[in-house]
Each structure stands twice: as structure tokens, then as C-alpha cells.
Structure 1
Amino acid sequence: MLAFLLAFLLLGPIVRQITNFTEKPLFVIVRDNSGSVTEATDSVTRDAISRELRDLTESLEEKGYEVAFTDLEGKETAEPVFNARATDLHRALENVSNKYEGKKFGGVLLVSDGIYNTGISPLFANYKFPVHTLGIGDTTQRTDVAIRNVAFNKLAYQGNKFPIRVEVVLKGVDNQRLTVTLQHKGRTIDQQTRDTGNESFVSYDFQVLAEEQGIQKYDIAVNVVSGETNVRNNRTTIFVEVVEGKKKIAIVAPSPHPDIKALRTVIEQNANYELILEIPGVVKEPREEIAVQDVDLVIFHQSPDRQGRTRARYNEFMKNRNAAFFILGAQSDLALLAREDVPLEMEGVPRDYDEVTPVVNTSFSNFSVSAEANSVVTAYPPVSVPFGKFNFPLSARPLLYQQIGTVATDKPLLAVEERNGRKIAIMMGEGLWRWRLDEFEQTGRAEGFDELFGKLIQYLATSDDRRRFRSYPIKQEFSDVEPVVFESQVYDDIFEPVYGNTIDIEVTDDQGKVNRYTYVTSPGNIRYQIGGLREGVYRYRSQTEINGRKEEVRGQFAVVTQLIELQNLTADFDLLRKLAANTGGKFYTTNNFENLHADLTQKEATGVIRSEETYNALINLRLLFWVLLVLAGVEWFFRKYFGAY
């Protein structure tokens, strides 16, 4: 018998087991751990709430519920740390839904002041469970003057003035004389006083001169009025990066042309560009002379021209080797252009012209053109291009090809090349204005044209970063509740990325205190996080060694304090009532804990019977081992007793 069983087990039989068990219904308690709760309630009140919730938990567990605690961020904790810098009640409830998906909910209790300051309103969402709400905090309207918002440009140009608008909200305040003060480096640079009358919202507009380069810190304050208890929202800080100046884009042409208007529209859409227009004897904007070395890109529209009107200015720019965009036309001196250091060769001087339409080169790699722009561009009307044999070097990259009638060719209509660090583009024909006008007539917009030439101008006007070591914070401004993240890149002689370099980062705060950090780059790990930095402007210096030579990068970044939780401390019980009503729950306050306890524990928990099916090898069952052992023992006993051995 034993031998038979052992032989049977060697065949590897499988046993299917079905186990039934009862899963308890889940009750989740979500506690609002935001700063507004800390400001509006004292520790005694919060401790009393914790005790009541512990009693409720014990009662629910006795009824057969599984109880889970979570805070706004989804961390499971019965005693949360009240340090959340923002409140997103909808996200907190969504976290519950996602985290416990598949569970049977007995309900959710949201313990909150009802104030949310980020995300969407929880009233606009549908939840899969009843949400009971427990209102905490103070619903009394407090006397408060708060800086609700500051509107400003994060980037300003040195020597220019930039606007700052300070928006002040008044609650429980009438007929006050409020003064808003603007300070820079501890010095008051502007101040405005206004009578509020019966207004609940007042704005103050400042014009500030950007004098120093770098990240500048500006402190803004509104005076405290009688009866205010929350004065921390009377002050705020902003950071503005002041840069040397805008990129200068020059257009040089022998005569006015509608192409110039079309390109001017594209250029002036970008606040980072300053347009310089020079048409000899017709217009010069601005009137003062601009040094050629200060120009980032020059657009030669039919320049150099056969009449020589733009020859002097053309020669200055060519000698300085500015980035250039040539647009050829009937006035262009093609013979002179062919002798210049530009990516275009021709056999003879063409006298005739072809009518061609554009086709976008989808393999162009210097920048991308959207599918929407691509489809629009291919429908543009024809432009006139010189008829003849033109040759572009192999290093030139066509952006647009010529299509003659319905025949697409490999002749470039618009091509770019970079040689010896200088970027050059050549457009073989004039009449760009027809493209923009045609697109506007067809679609009511000119987004395709503006995208195509906007990206081309941006590419040509941008100097390539040829440094072999780059290290920088991934953004210029960080919140004090997030880490400052640095990214470092190291390249070899042919500008391929290399790894394994030790990066030394030195961060200096505005008090002169220096902190040093070190890490080693690796594929997929070129970033480094620095936490715990307080508000202020920081200077950094990153260093590494490449082939025995020290490489260094310097720069600045800012850390700003997030005080959104202090903007409003008046509890919103009305929102909590509506949320409970919308989801089939009930609203309670700390004054009727007994009702909350009685209502939530009066219903017996109804679990869910679930089945779990498993397949196990018969030989793995422990019971079978003991059965075989007993059988072997019994067989041995009888054989021994009856003398079989």
C-alpha cells in the first residue's frame, strides 16, 4: 500500500483547493493635516479630536469593520503631522478610492475645516462611497487683510521697467487706509497708499526698474489693521530674474516689402526679441546705431541688392559673421552672394523664375514642425524662385523642398547650414507674405506660418552650447516644500555623453553660508536633489574634472516659501455639508461627537464572502506527509509483530 502511494506521488498529481473567507468592510478616516488646521485650532482641541477618533475606531472594530487612517497625502497614520502646505480635498478622497480599490466600503469620515486651495472642488466629483464629514476649525469671519496674489513677469531685462500688481483682499474691514510697501535688499523702493472705502478687493500697480542682473528678491507688505489675528498673510516675497537684454533680430532690405511685415509679426510675438529694421533712405528702427556684434540674427531680404543700397551694412554683418537668414528675390545680387561664404553655389546668373510650392522635409532634425503646421504649409500658394542650376553643400539641411506643379523635387526651397559655429539659412524665393495671408484667409489664423518661421528664427538666433560640462538647477525657482534638483551633463571631445564623473556642487545662501554636495553621474542618474533650503536667493558653483582639467559652472536659483494655507483660515462647513449630502453621508461638528459615534456604529458590519482558488502539488501537502508517516509506522509495526522482517 505504501509503495503504491509513493509511486502515485511520483506522477505529480495536482490538488485544487477552494478557501472561503469573509472580508471585513472598510471604514476610512481621512484627517486634514494642512497648515490652516494648525493655525485655526490649538493642540488641546486636536488632542481631543484624536481621542474621540480612537474611541470611534474601537467601536467600529467591535462591530466588525476594518478601520484605516490616512492624511491628505495618502499616508496611513492615526496621528498626522500638520505640515501640509496645500489642501486638495478631492485628491485626498481620490487617493482613498484608488488605494482601496476592490474593497467593500463601510464609509469614509473626512475630518477637515472644509478649506481647499488647490485642485478641483470635491463637490464636482462622484465617489464610490458615502462621505461623512466632521467639521473642525472656526467659521467666524475674522478681520483680515491679505495679499492674495502678485502678478509679475518672472523675467525682466536690465535697464527696462517691469510691472508688479499686488492684489489685496479685505475681510471684515471697511474704510481703511492701506499702504503697500515694495522693498529690494532691505530698502523701500516704492510705496502706495489707498483708501479702501467699502471695497473687498484692492489692487496696487508698481513699475520697477530692473537694474542688477541675476535673480532679484522683492519683499511686499501691506500694513496690519486693528483686530487682525492672522498677520502672516500680510507679507509675501517674489523673485525676478533680470537678464542682460533681449535677443536682437535685424532685418536689412533695399526697399519695403510685404514679406517684412509678415516676418515682423512673427518676431514681435516673442517678448524675448527686439526688432531692428533698416531700409536705407526709408526707415531705421531704432534710430540710434546698433553695433553689429550686438545683433543675434540678421535677416537679409533681397540683400545684397543689385543697386548696392544695402552693400555697406551687408558687408559689416558678413565681416562680423553674424547668424544670417537670406531671402532671395528679384533685387538680390546673386553674383555677389555666390562669392560669399554661404552654402549656395550657382552656374551662371539666372534670368528666369519658377513658380514652386513648399513641401516640408519630415526628416529635418534641428527642430520639429507639428503635423498641423505641416499640413497647412503644403497647401501654400507658389512663390517665385530663380531658375537655374543651384548646388547646396552636403552639410546643408533642407527644411522645405520645391514642388513644381504636382512633382515633388529634391531641390531645397529653404535650407540651413552651420559652418564654423555660424548658422545660415537661405530661402530661394520671395513672397512669404502670400503664405501667411492665404493661411489666415483659409483658417482665420496663421499658426502654421508663425510656428515654422518662429522656430526657424529661434534656432538661428540661439547660440549653441558647446561646453563639455553643464550643470544647472532644472528650474530657476523652487518651493521650500520641494527639493532643489540639479542636473549635470559631461561630454567627450566629440560631444557624446560620458558618465562616472564626480560632480562637486557648492551652494551659498544670501548670508554667505556654504553647503557642499558630491555625487557621481551614471546612465539614468544625472540628477541630484538638495532638500531643506529656506527661502532666499542662492548662488551655486558646480565643478568636475575632464581629462585632468577642471571645468566649472556658476549660476543662481531661488527658493520661495509657500504660504497658501495662511490665505484663508475661515472654516467652510457649508462645503462639508454639501459634500456629505451629495454622497449619502452626514455632517457633524465637534459639538455633537456623540451623534457621530452613535450613527456610524449603529449599523452592523456586513462582510463580503470571497473565495480563493489555489492549485498545489499533492506531494506538498503536510497532512499527506503525516498520513504516509503513520501508514509507514503501522506497516512496520505489523510486519515486526507478525515476523515479516
Structure 2
Amino acid sequence: MFLTEYSSAWIIVALLLGAGYAALLYHKRSSPWGKNWQKALAAVRFLWVSMLAILLIGLLMQQFITRYENPTVVFAIDNSASILLQEDSAKINETLNSIQKTAQNLEEKGFDVEFKTLNNLENDSIQDNSDKINFNYTSSPISDLLRNIQSEFENRNLSNVILLSDGAYNQGLSPDISPYSFSLQTIGVGDTIPKKDIILKSLFHNKMAYLGNQFPIVAEVTHTGFENREVTAVLSQNGRTISTKKVKFSSNQNDLKSVEFLVKATSKGIQHYVVTIVPQDGEFTTQNNTAHAYIDIIDSKEKILLVAGAPHPDIKAFRAAIEKNENYKFDIYLPYLRPTELEDNYDLIIYHQFPDKMGKPLPILEKLRKLTSAELFIIGAQSDYNAFNSLNTGVKIRPLGNQSDKVIPFWNSNFSKFYLTDEQKSRFASYPPALVPFADYDISPQAEIMLYQRVGNIQTKKPLVVMSEQNGKKAGIWLAENTWKWRLNEYAENKNQEGYDALLSKIIQYLSTKEDKRRFRVSPTASQFSTSDGVTFDVEVYNSIYEPLLGQNIRLEIKDEDEKTRTYTFTNNSSPFRYSASALSEGAYSFKATTQLDGKTETSIGQFTVKEIKLESLNATADFGVMRRLAQQNKGNFYTLNNLQVLQDSLQNQVPTPTVFRNEQLSEVINLWWIMLLIIGLASFEWGVRKFQGGY
């Protein structure tokens, strides 16, 4: 059937156009080719001109395509490591071979068969050879496996899904939380009787500590079958025992004990600590007796100096918020009251109402500004506005008399330097008013307003907090006084000061973060990777004007704790570029990347850790309850390895019923090659006859 994009009346117009064109050309009675050829050529001209005109009005061809789809049977294999912890490998291989033969028989009957695993192995390789399945996957996201099957086979002829699993999931949702859209048969493997075992369940520690400080490493230990038994926990580093602790289990099954080790940070860099529970006779497995901690020991804190002409309650609030972060070393300098020996440089200097009206701050200020590349100015009643305006911070204050406004903050939704959570921002509305200068403000194009002033219920466009960068130097301008009341009020209402502290913390982080001027940068995409994944690096290379530079030959050396080095060479062929190294074993690693830029060797170094995920060894007991519920909820049956033949017989007795799909397909006739070939052929025939008969 043919359709048109426009009215069918246009087809009549196209036919009239063809007829008119033919009549115009061949209406003369006398011609060099005779009467019969005259009529034939007129007919040919009518045909190809009409056809061409019809194509131009958008002629569509409607087709109905019938497709038959065989029913599909999917074998979903839980290939997690816990399977071989619970079941003999020979029995598992025997089961897989049996399933493979069943799959072949189903295919011979007219079923399509597919295999799915937790890590999405190639279907063809599994179906041809069950030995391709390795039971080493580090977790059991059974629900993800089933949900992926449901998504992939939506609106398809899915006859049956057969799940082989121990039912012990440790990632994602419970697989039986809701029914699926297909029939599900389940095969339970493993032992439902709890094994006698001691399990180091988890390890808690900070990711970072400071050189010379003590920090805790806390291990949680549980057991099955070791009631009233005392075991030993050992903390070691580089094969050397640091500390041992005794753990006494009670008479309760699954008793959970915490063991705390206090460790002193004596070396810089990523330090690798190992906690081991000494194995006991009769343990089912010792794979879950060990856990690893990787802690980055750093030697320097970010130095923050607060300068003020006089004490003020705001200073106490700033200090409390800043000193919550152990990464900051905070000092106060009162030049008129308490001289302090200054350091050579600071990551950030906060000027509280300084320069002020009381003394002669400019010589002091000139000295201080040379010690940092980031500044935060707190403006108040004692601030010298003229002196402040001369500092080129990106904000100029033009006071309208000696008055002040009472305002509360509200967030600028267009601010892009950093973000606060909605919960943190919502707390601003309940803050008591703070004092700001009653003034007009000049904001430079390089400055960005973070907080606006709200007077009562009126949201003004006057700035309250501004972030600026002038000539490569970052500056923050905090135009409010008595904001200590904000922190106090927040604690009274919420029992914490999360909003205020987050606000100040984000400002400090932004101001104290230095711009990376390196032309060659290689950094791991995470500080910690899994042994089952490859280690990936982000690679950036720039020319002298910081445009991305491609085609660089890069050498990457990765060194483990035993000083063994792996070397990789590659070329960055895109921007951004990410390089994936091979998967590494558990441990702490350092890396060094080098390339040549303008005849010089550029280097980028760093550290990362690789950790083995041991979720599978934490539970060596099968959960057939989950497998039974899955089958009951999804019109299936539960089987064990002992009655697997019943399932196989049931599958063999099924008769495949193909599904018929009838799809409508519309295609533009102008895109059909044979139509265009016909038009060209007719036009060529006409031209050839006229040429041969002397018409040209």
C-alpha cells in the first residue's frame, strides 16, 4: 500500500504535470521518427515525469513484516566465590555440564538458550564450554542479575529463567523483595547448616592521620560455634607485630566483639596495617580472619592565621568551626595586644575588621599580604572602609552615613564555586540578624556573590559574602558582624552547627586551594581500588598556554610495597584522557609518570591503594529460604542438586511456542534504488531513441 505525506490530490496534479509535459513535447504531428514512435516516446515521457513528481510529494510505501521469535530459556549462574566455599568444585562442574547438555537439548527442540552470570561473561563462550565460568566474583548482587534479565527481555518471548545460586546475597536489594515478570525456577547449592568459623567482620579507621599522632584501628569480630572461647587479635605492619589483644566470646551464638588498637603514626605516606585473628582448630575457613587498613600519614597541616585589632565573639565562633578540621593549624594574631612570631607563609589569612580605625594597620597589612595567596576579610563597624577599598579585593564599600542594616543570609542560586546541601542552606532562614554596613557596593566582574542580604522578608541584591580573584590572588569578603549568634542559634535549634560550619569550611577550602599550574598531571581516579577492577588514571598534558596537548608518549611506573615495579607506556590521544592499567593485588602502591615537554622531562607522582573485597567469605551458609520464596513468587519451583533431574525432565517436556510479531514499516519510495533506476532507465531510453532518430 502507498501513502503520501500530503493530500492524495497531489498525485492527480503530478499525473497532469507528466501528461502536460509529454503533450507539450510531442503534440506536433510531423516528426523525424514516425507516428508509433511519437506515441511511445510521449508515453515514456509521461511515465518518468509523473513518477518523479509523485516522489517529490513524499510517497510512502506501507509494509507489514511478520517475524517469529522462538521462546528463550535463560540460565542465570551465580558465579560468586561463596559457591565454592560451600560446595565441592567437582560437583559444581558436574552440575554445569548437566545444565549445558540440557541447554543443547532445548535448542534442538526449538528454544533459544542464553547464559547469564554476575559479571556478564560472553554468552557464547559459556554455552559452548561451562569451564569458562570461574566462581571468583567478589560479591553476590543476585537482585541485579535478575533485574538485568527482566530489563533485557522486556517484551520478548521469555519462557523460563533458571537461577543457580546459594541464595546468600551481600550486595544490592534482597532478590525476593518483589516478583519478576517471568517464570523463575531456582536451584539451591551449598549447605544451610552454619559452619564453625571466626569472622573478622569489619575494620574501622580514619583514612588520614598526622605524623606523631595516635589513631585508632577498631576490628569487629564475630563467630559461629566458638562460644566461651578466647582468641587473639594481632596488629602488624610489614610483617612486624605492633600489638596483640585477647578477645573472649560469650556463650551467645554470633557474639560480636570490638577490638581497638591505638597506633602511633611514625612514617609519612600510605601505611599498610594488617589485623589478623589467629586461626583456631576446626575453623571452616581462614579467608575471613584477616583485614587490611591503609592510612595516609601526612606531615603538614594547612596553616590559617586570623588577624584582628581586638578580641570579638565572632573570632571564637570562627575558631570553633575551623578547629573541628584536624587538617588545619589555626593561629590568632592581635598585633596591638599580643605580638606573635609569624611563619614564612600561610595557606589563608583571615582579617577580622582589619584594617581598622584604631591603629596604623597598613604597614602590618602590607607585610602580612606577602605571606599568603588567599585572604578572607571580615567587615564590621571597626573596619576602615577607605583602607579596605584600596586593597583591590574585587569589592568596594561606599557607606551611606554611619548606620548599619540588620540582615540574614540567603543563597545565590547562580553561585558556582562550590555548593551547600539544601538542608544546610535551609538553616539560614532561622538565623538571627547580623549587622552589615548601610552602604552601596561596587562588585568587579571577577567577583561572584555567594550570599545576598535579606532585610526582613525582602531579598535584596546587596552582597553579604563575595568570592573574588584578582591578579591570581583569591579573596573572600564577609560583610557581616555578630555572626557568632548564627552558630549559637543553630545549636539551640538543631543540637549542631552543621550549616554555619559547612559554610565557613567551604569558603576556607575554596580560598586555600591553590591552582594547579603543572603542564603534566597524572592522578588516579580514586584513592582506593578493588582487586577485581583495573587501576585507572586521569592524564592531562598542556602546552605553554595551557591548551590540551595530544600525542604525547607517556611512561608510567607503578611500584608496590616490595619495590617491584611495573612499567606501562602509552600515548594520550584524546582530551580528557583516561588510562587503565591492569588489575593489581592488594597493597599500597606509588607511581611515577614522565613525559617530554619542550625538551624537558616532566614528572607526576602519587600514591594509591588496592584492597581485596572479601564479602563472600563473611557468610559461608546457603540461604534456601530466599531461593524458595523466589520460586514461589514467580510461578516456579525450587530444586536442589539432588533432584535436579526433575527440573531437567520438566524442561524437556515443554513444547516451544513461537511468538508472532507483526510490525508496520513505512519507507520513503524515493529511497528505493530500483525506483530511481527505473526513472533513469526510462529517461535514458527516451533520450536514446530521440538521438538515434535524429531528434537532437
Q: If the TM-score is normalised by the length of the shorter chain, which range does it land in?
A: 0.7 to 0.9
- The answer as to 2:399 corresponding to 1:353 is no
Equivalent residue for 1:46, pick from 92, 95, 100: 92
Counterpart position of 2:198: 145
| Counterpart position of 1:463 | 514
1:222 is matched with: 277
Q: What code does the residue aligned with 2:531 have?
A: D
Measured in 2, the distance between the counterparts of 1:296 and 1:98 equals 52
- Per-residue deviation at 1:523? 3.5
Which residue of 550, 565, 582 maps to 1:514?
Answer: 565
Cα offset, 1:82, TM superposition? 2.0
Q: Is the 8 A contact 1:400 1:412 kept in 2?
A: yes
Instruction: Name 1:526's counterpart in structure 2.
Output: 577
The more displaced of 494-503 and 200-209 is 494-503
Normalising by structure 2, report the TM-score. 0.77
Query: Structure 1 residues 36 and 399, CA, compared in 2 at 3 Å: closer, same or farther?
Result: closer
Task: Specify the SS of the correspondent of 2:604.
Answer: strand
User: 244, 261, 265: which is aligned to 1:191?
Assistant: 244
Which residue of structure 1 lines up, in the alignment, with residue 349 of structure 2? 298
Match of 2:181 among 119, 128, 134: 128
Asked whether the 8 Å contact 1:305–1:311 carries over to 2, the reply is no
1:540 is aligned to 591
Residue identity opposite 1:170 in structure 2: H
Are 2:372 and 1:321 aligned?
Answer: yes
Cα shift at 1:396: 4.5
Contact 2:348 2:372 (8 Å CA) reproduced = no
- Distance (whole Å) between structure 2 residues aligned to residue 382 and residue 118 of structure 1: 48
Alignment-mate amino acid for residue 160 of structure 2: G
SS of residue in 2 equivalent to 1:91 = helix
- Residues 575-584 or 174-183, more deviating: 575-584
Counterparts of 2:341 and 2:650, CA distance in 1: 79
Q: Distance in 2 between matches of 1:146 and 1:531?
A: 30
Where in structure 2 are the equivalents of 1:349-388 lying within 5 Å?
Answer: 352-355=402-405, 357=407, 364-368=415-419, 383-386=434-437
Radius of gyration: which is bigger?
2
Aligned ranges 1:244-283 → 2 under 5 Å: 244-277=299-332
Counterpart code for 2:583: G
Matched residues in 1 for 2:46 and 2:369: separation? 95
> Sequence identity of aligned pairs in percent?
33
**Is there any run of 5+ residues in structure 1 with no aligned partner, and where?**
623-645
The answer to whether the aligner puts 1:591 opposite 2:642 as a matched pair is yes
* Match for residue 623 of structure 2 among 560, 567, 572: 572
Query: Alpha-carbon deviation of 1:428?
Result: 3.4
What is the CA deviation profile of residues 425-446 of structure 1, one whole-angstrom value per residue up to 9, with x for unaligned ones?
2333413235556777899986
CA drift of 1:379 comes to 8.6
- Distance (whole Å) between structure 2 residues aligned to residue 155 and residue 220 of structure 1: 18
Q: CA deviation at 1:89?
A: 0.6
Report deviation, 1:21. Answer: 4.9
Alpha-carbon distance in 1 for matches of 2:65, 2:395: 81
Listed as ranges, the gaps of 5+ residues in structure 2 are 1-39, 675-696
2:3 paired residue number = none
Q: TM-score, normalised by structure 1?
A: 0.83
- Cα distance in 2 for residues equivalent to 1:20 and 1:215: 64
Q: Any idea what SS the aligned residue of 2:583 has?
A: coil
Q: Compare 273-282 and 597-606 and name the one that shifted more.
A: 273-282
Partner SS state of residue 28, structure 1? strand
Q: 1:566 to 1:448 in 2, by over 3 A?
A: closer
Within 1, Cα distance between the matches of 2:441 and 2:61?
81
Q: Which deviations, in whole Å up to 9, do the C-alpha atoms of 1:453-495 show, x marking residues without a partner?
A: 3321211222222222211111121111111111111233443
| Residue of structure 2 aligned with 1:238, choices 273, 281, 293 | 293
* Residue 610 (str. 1) matches residue 661 (str. 2): yes
Which one is further off, 190-199 or 248-257?
Answer: 248-257
Query: In structure 2, the residue corresponding to 1:50 is in which secondary structure?
Result: helix
User: Any idea what SS the aligned residue of 1:426 has?
Assistant: strand
**Structure 1 residues 365-413: Cα deviation after superposition (integer angstroms, max 9, x where no partner):** 5335667777876897654444568766665544445678899887654
Shift of the 361–587 alpha-carbon distance from structure 1 to 2, 3 Å rule, reads closer
Equivalent of residue 159 in structure 1, options 197, 212, 222 = 212
Aligned equivalents of 1:517, 1:345: Cα separation in 2 = 54
Q: 1:385 to 1:120 in 2, by over 3 A?
A: closer
CA contact (8 A) 1:277 1:283 kept: no
Which segment is superposed worse, 110-119 or 590-599?
Answer: 590-599
- Across the aligned residues of Structure 1 and Structure 2, the Cα RMSD in angstroms comes to 4.0
How many aligned positions are there? 615
- The residue type paired with residue 510 of structure 2 is Y
Which of 233, 236, 250 lines up with 1:180 in the alignment? 233
Aligned to 1:475: 526
Corresponding position of 2:157: 104
Change (3 A) 1:19 1:142: same
Q: CA 1:421–1:184 in 2, change beyond 3 Å: closer, same or farther?
A: farther
Please give the alpha-carbon distance, in whole angstroms, between the structure 2 residues aligned to 1:589 and 1:250: 69
